Structure 1
């Protein structure tokens, strides 16, 4: 496979999805390849290449988890210890959860916490402390330790553990524990560091279907542990090689013992009917693709999307970055699947849904919610439609421009009696999830993208 074929595929796919700028990196057979296409910004265009900085969104969580594992290796943090050992001031809506939640519960999303607190605690060094002080406002989406439910707040709290143990800000802690030892010279949290380099801005579609620059460019500092890192494809391939390796750093000194690195890639909790994976390790989603084990994480910011996937047994990695929504999601998915098929002969295919069933449709129609979003399911007969929106009161109260809501998605049930479904249209095409029932057999929740939406009383 030539570099020309990678570049041609990336360019054609980006143009088909109308994305201003994309960049892809592949590590295969001990060689590194980059393919960039388009521009950083439709208003002030500069070419995109392997050193252009993009927002990683939730791929940042792999850095937060790795930094904490370094403290575990040094005997300064115990994954099974209660978080209050390190953050004694922690208050949650559920006192039992606050007293018993462990560091591992945060890193594998089994704390039962809701998605996140919608609050801007400023850009000072106390931003993360301020965020954690507001976590008592967050709902307990599930009982502690009973299931995985993806939580931004959980990782922000994990970042506060880093601060308390090291005595540094979260950003300085990650820099000293991870970025510098691994040799990541193109990875930053602060806009002041980014603005002196070439960086991409996000784009979203306006009401007329035109791509416009997404503002604000970056989220709040209090959300940095869950999604604040900005980096290049070159650095992300270096990060991938570190996690494919034995724990050594750029200079050859040990950054993380190999056994802890491998522990991050071993299942800690199973995931059901999730496109994100079959299980969660420590900071990584794990899944079987066509008979091989893959380790990865995706991320999203305002108009920017990232997808990082490793195949350890084949010493392979692919990273895709795109600067437009909503089509950055399917672009990244197409690129990752193409790379797996082209370089490894590994094929990732979506399951086929069952024909429309009116009786099953009636059971799930209604309204569901999490702290930040609402999810509505309607029966178009014959066909089911799912729509996710940011809560209107959050839009009204925000002094920041928020990402637009996605158009409704069609979806269908999958074979079996497990209430599993697959989305069959739109930017989330191929995403899987499932419905949750109570003891009486009534549908009381729906999982989408790892998040549990609970059925509202009106639904």
Structure 2
């Protein structure tokens, strides 16, 4: 009966979303069945992902006689107004493609040279600001800014910028203020041209150059250089820097972790790195025009824009040219860009298909799969391999672009910058021991594989001894297709790939050559932070993950090979068996960074802490145990702008039910603004003596 009711509820939700949908077809001869299928796909995605308030979509496919705008879900959560296909939105970093194209138009006009230093084009006050912070503006070129290879620190991704916007959301930022912040918060990341560091700072400098060379405001320059009128862009404008065009529909509300942030001043992302407001149809027109040669005067200019430097080939979101990314969609090479608030715009030249979407949530829940919609549309249009984005079994891959000498150069930079940036690097490890580990790795690099070098660097940061100093595993590391979880002293298999289904629910008793206890201890002695290892939950949660990483297992001596790892399992009946587990290359959601493995769960009904995976903060009353249970995976919306209604609602439930227990479950919480807990939740609990007791809280 429960499963029947769930099925009825799912159908009801889908019916609700279908009712609220709208379609605008630009081609009277479009296949109505095809349009209906696209609408169904879009509605299903919104219904299946409650973290998305709504979603807009435009698909242009002349070979299929298709040019259609679609909408599903809500304009904003408060009014419950349905999205219209022509509601506009903040495109954020998709603006960078417009900025890069404008620079290239100035290049065509002979007003700028791509390989000239930026000191030739920047006002004196900007050049001096950069030079005073160690940047050589006579060596950083315009091309470096366009390709994110300048090494200039990105203010927009700096945690201090997030904090500043959060603390004063209505502050009116200036371009100079943002560049000053970049100089204050970060040093050069590398010598210009020698690496890749995505940088909004570089693009706001390009915005300044456009204004200076064109003699126009940035808004006017975009319109003139890119010829908005000729392309047909009548729903696109720079927010607050120019009036909205006549007849443009309202700005749909952007959300961050479920919180409406439309009141945050647009200047936080405005001057060339972001700032445009547009519609899916306008963006589709622009990217089609750009990639079919209708924006530039010369075909060679587009070729220049699409050149990807060797430093820019292997990054999340795709290989990066000049303000434009190359990515593979269902076997097709496509070009475009994504934006922070959920925009992505891509044109696939060979298939002659343009897909633009926007889902108005900067941080969708980790269960949201960015590629799903593209794969389904590709399958519907029959433009490529539309198999679902599941992880594929393959041999572990090495990073093919790094030489041994480059690794040694990286290691020296790593050691130098750690010492410079860490507040107290030697609080758990002596300087002598740190230098000794670095020197030994430097000597060993010629005989190590790429992944062994990375793991050895991870061992060094582990000895630093704090949870915020770590080497992030690269996306070319592989994963054993298992999910493990410690229940007391037992490590159980909670999820597994279909071909290892027999391992579901069993205990892991041995990995490689080590019993499970010894394997965990070896991780603690090598790659787990020495100080954080004193925290039992840290050890349990992290070791369960690291024990599925073949590159780590082999480097620390637990497994002999990265190609197959023997694991011995034991059933509840005491039967033991060993499987040779082959690693997989996981699919990574380009929007959220979440890893997708396509695993089968051990139980149909997940335990309480795994329920409602799309909700970051939820609570309920459990009458059998007289418990108020709070799942606290993410900080509720009070974490950005103040005020904590979710915490208040928990306390109202406590006051109403007078429970025997209050359980606040922080499993899966990766951090946030803990000051909101100190200001609101903790004082509220302290005021309630009945629950604020050992054994009850």
Question: Is TM > 0.5 for Structure 1 vs Structure 2?
Answer: yes
CA contact (8 A) 1:80 1:103 kept: yes
Moved more, 46-55 or 74-83: 46-55
Q: Secondary structure at the match of 2:190?
A: coil
Question: In the alignment, which of 111, 122, 131 is matched to residue 87 of structure 1?
Answer: 122
Structure 2 residue aligned with 1:321:
358
Evaluate the alpha carbon distance shift between residue 14 and residue 290 of structure 1 in structure 2; reply closer, same or farther with a 3 A threshold. Answer: closer
Aligned mates of 2:210, 2:90 — CA distance in 1: 22
SS in 2 for 1:76: coil
- Cα distance in 1 between the residues matched to 2:348 and 2:118: 32
On the 8 A contact 2:236/2:278 being kept in 1, the answer is yes
| Structure 2 SS opposite 1:314 | coil
Q: 1:166: which partner in 2?
A: 214
Match for residue 439 of structure 1? none
Higher strand share: 1
Q: Is contact 1:156–1:222 with CA below 8 Å preserved after alignment?
A: no
User: What residue number does 2:136 align with?
Assistant: 97
- Give a deviation string over 1:286-340, Cα, whole Å, max 9, x none: 234565322121110xxx2111121112211111100224227845432223223
3-state SS of 1:283 partner: coil
Corresponding residue of 1:268: 309
Contact in 2 for aligned 1:236/1:319 (Cα 8 Å): yes
Alignment correspondent of 1:258:
299
- Residues 352-431 of structure 1 correspond to what in structure 2 (within 5 A)? 364=458, 427-430=592-595
Equivalent of 2:325 in 285, 288, 293: 285
**Displacement after TM superposition at 1:424 (Å):** 6.7
Maintained 8 Å contact 2:329/2:375: no
Higher relative contact order (CA 8 A, sep 6+): 1
2:285 alignment partner, SS class = helix
CA contact (8 A) 1:67 1:177 kept: yes
Relative to the length of structure 2, the TM-score reads 0.49
Cα distance change of structure 1 residues 424 and 259 upon mapping to structure 2, 3 Å threshold: closer
Structure number having the greater helix percentage = 2
- Structure 2 unaligned regions, length at least 5: 1-32, 397-450, 463-467, 474-483, 492-519, 524-541, 556-561, 563-583, 598-697
2:567 aligned residue: none
Aligned pair in 2 of structure 1 residues 181, 160: CA closer, same or farther (>3 Å)? Answer: farther
Distance 1:260 1:431 in 2: 38
Partners of 1:238 and 1:374 in 2: CA distance: 45
C-alpha displacement at 1:31, in angstroms? 2.6
**8 Å CA contact 2:155, 2:179 repeated in 1:** no
Q: Is residue 452–residue 551 contact of structure 2 (8 Å, CA) maintained in 1?
A: no
SS class of match (2:209): helix
User: Which residue pairs with 1:454 in the alignment?
Assistant: none
The alpha-carbon distance between structure 1 residues 336 and 106, as it changes in their structure 2 partners (threshold 3 A), is same
Give the Cα separation in 2 of the matches to 1:271 and 1:351.
Answer: 24
Aligned equivalent of 2:191, options 143, 162, 171: 143
> What SS does the aligned partner of 1:227 have?
coil
Tell me: CA distance 1:414–1:141, structure 2 relative to 1, closer, same or farther (3 Å). farther
5 Å-filtered alignment, 1:132-211, equals 132=179, 135-137=182-184, 138-178=186-226, 179-191=228-240, 193=243, 197-205=249-257, 211=258
1:310 aligns with 2:347: yes
For 1:243, the equivalent position in structure 2 comes to: 290
CA contact (8 A) 1:351 1:414 kept: no
Conservation of the 8 A alpha-carbon contact between 1:244 and 1:315:
no
Query: Partners in 2 of 1:101 and 1:360 — Cα distance?
Result: 29
Contact 2:60 2:66 in 1 (8 A): yes
**Is the counterpart of residue 66 in structure 1 residue 101 in structure 2?**
yes
**Distance between the aligned counterparts of 1:50 and 1:323, measured in 2?**
13
- Please tell me whether residue 14 in structure 1 is matched to residue 46 in structure 2: yes
After TM superposition, the score normalised by the length of structure 1 is: 0.72
Quick check: 1:17–1:331 contact (8 Å CA) kept in 2? no
1:456 equivalent in structure 2: none
2:56 paired residue among 23, 27, 33? 23
| Change over 3 Å in CA distance of 1:224–1:342 after alignment to 2 | farther
More divergent stretch after superposition (5-14 vs 335-344)? 335-344
Tell me, in whole angstroms, the C-alpha distance in 2 between the residues paired with 1:360 and 1:67.
40
Structure 1 residues 36-45 or 196-205, which shifts more? 196-205
Residue 2, structure 1, aligned to residue 34, structure 2: yes
Q: 1:21 to 1:217 in 2, by over 3 A?
A: farther
C-alpha separation between the residues in 2 aligned to 1:111 and 1:67?
Answer: 19
What residue in structure 2 maps to residue 56 of structure 1?
Answer: 91
Contact kept? 2:172, 2:265, Cα under 8 Å: no
Secondary structure of the 1:37 match is: strand
How far apart, CA to CA, are the structure 2 residues paired with 1:414 and 1:281?
Answer: 33
Residues 354, 415 of structure 1: 8 Å contact kept: no
Superposition map of 1:92-131 within 5 A: 92=130, 95=134, 97-116=136-155, 118=161, 123=172, 127-131=174-178
**Which string of whole-angstrom CA distances, capped at 9 and with x for unpartnered residues, describes residues 197-251 of structure 1?**
322112234xxxxx33225445426643111111101101111220232225xxx
Helix, strand or coil at the partner of 1:263 = helix
CA distance in 2, matches of 1:6, 1:15: 14
Alpha carbons of structure 1 residues 258 and 351: separation in structure 2 relative to 1, 3 Å: same
Query: Larger C-alpha radius of gyration, 1 or 2?
Result: 2
Confirm or deny: 8 A CA contact 2:96 2:274 kept in the other structure. yes
Aligned residue for 2:294, secondary structure, equals coil
d(CA) in 2 for partners of 1:201, 1:34: 19
Give the Å deviation of 1:285: 1.1
Compared CA separation, residues 325 and 75, structure 1 to 2 (3 A): closer
CA-based RMSD: 4.2
Aligned to 1:226: 273
Aligned partners of 2:313 and 2:320 also within 8 Å:
no
Higher deviation after alignment, 2-11 or 181-190: 181-190
Q: Which runs of no fewer than 5 residues in structure 1 stay unpaired?
A: 206-210, 249-254, 368-372, 385-407, 433-459
Q: How much has 1:176 moved relative to structure 2? A: 2.2
Q: Deviations over 1:398-446 (max 9, x none)?
A: xxxxxxxxxx9x79758799999867799422499xxxxxxxxxxxxxx
Structure 1 pair 147–123 and aligned structure 2 pair: CA distance change class (3 A) = same
Task: Report the CA distance shift for 1:112/1:359 in structure 2 as closer, same or farther (over 3 A).
Answer: closer
Partner SS state of residue 184, structure 1:
coil
Larger CA deviation: 421-430 vs 48-57: 421-430
Aligned residues: 387
* Structure 2 CA distance for partners of 1:193 and 1:266, relative to 1, 3 Å: same
C-alpha distance in structure 2 between counterparts of 1:354 and 1:328, whole Å? 28
